[in-house]
Amino acid sequence: MAEHPEYWPETIRALTVHSARWTPHMLAEFNATASKSDRKALARKYGYGVPDLRRALASARDDLALVAEHYIQPFRVENGSVRFSDAHVYRLPWPRQVLEDLGDQPVRLKVTLSYFVEPNPSFASAIDPARYQSFGLRFDLKRARETDGNFLRRVNKDDRGENDPRPINEDNDGWFFGPKSISAGSIHMDIWEGSAVELVERDLLYVYPISGWWRERRALGRANSKARYALVVGIETPEVDVYLMTPIQSEVAALLQTGIDIEV
């Protein structure tokens, strides 16, 4: 992409998918489905829609995207075994006052996660994503009634004590596809819809690894390998005209001072 020559291929791919919208005909079929599993089947048919170059290049007045690029080490060798290693936590720069003023107005949050895997060429691996891919990534969003501490304890057992039970998984409805829709692949997109005031509290996003042959086939010597990923998070206010750019830029500036690489 000539406009952003510094972007990784993972990022260009994420922005392309993030910019896509379903046509009215496609959207009508999605809206007529009765379950998330039906939507997943339609996504195999239509993908994530038709990309929009203008939207991919720049944020609109009430439709903007936050971009992060990072390296991650999914696994590590420790005490003779291969364990999960890195996970990344993002503080999302929501303009609290603006969203609280919107109250129950609907907002739409779109998350796109892109990375590339090394395939395992063995014949048997084709039937099992965990054996085919070198690693995988997933994301999770803090629930509206969940504290930061409970969220981190829920998603990462290293944040829980030996006798500390995993916190109850709070209601996570509102996703278009839902976390159970992801079974394979190396680009994942989902859309959450809810009220503006609820989004205020959903301000932490967790990116974490799942298994792959780097972990399962330790003899190949790739357990300590690193990989790259791109994360794109977008927020829209479909029913009201509200200027989000300036307040979010202010929040981003504060986050950049803490070392989190996010671009508006």
Within 10 angstroms of residue 204's Cβ, the number of other Cβ atoms is: 18
Residue 99 has φ and ψ, to the nearest 5°, of: -70, -40
In tens, the pLDDT along 59-118 reads 544 457 889 999 999 999 999 899 999 999 999 988 888 899 999 999 999 999 999 999
| Residue-range domain boundaries for the chain | 59-256
Residue 42's pLDDT band (boundaries 50, 70, 90)? Answer: very high
**Which residue in 121, 140, 151, 7 sits closest to 68, CA to CA?**
7
pLDDT tens column, 111-156: 999 999 999 867 565 667 778 899 999 999 999 889 999 999 888 8
- Average pLDDT (28-51) is 92
